[in-house]
Amino acid sequence: MPKQRFLISCKYSAINTMLKQELVFTIFIALLSVLGLFDIIYTFTGVSAQLGVLYPAAHVLLNIIGFVAISFIWSREKWANWLFLGVIVAHLGLDLLVGGFQPIKLLLLVPSIFFFLVKK
């Protein structure tokens, strides 16, 4: 009887750990979506007007592609990690091109690294 209780306890422990990991993953995805939406709104407030006429449009297009990547990452598609990384690199390249790069934007790489580590 104690052996069965141990096995049941291990089973529920594994399920509980999986649920916690899934919850952290879902919260991370939701946070990225909210930050992306904020970034789209912030782009059109006039702050990025000095960066050029086409910068806001290109920035929002990259954010929309980022939303697509995030939605496919949430549905556990492996190729979406690479798409998300490509969007981040394109964002950084666009900012370098127009002169709007700031070192803090390198933090955009953290979610991509997180997704690659979680998807092992």
In the chain the first and final C-alpha atoms are separated, in Å, by 37
Give tens-digit pLDDT for 93-108.
998 999 888 888 888 8
Give tens-digit pLDDT for 45-84.
877 778 888 888 898 999 999 999 999 988 888 899 999 9
Give yes or no for a contact between 98 and 52, defined as CB atoms under 8 angstroms apart.
yes
Residues contacting 12, CB < 8 A, separation 6+: none
**Total Cβ atoms within 10 A of residue 87:** 22
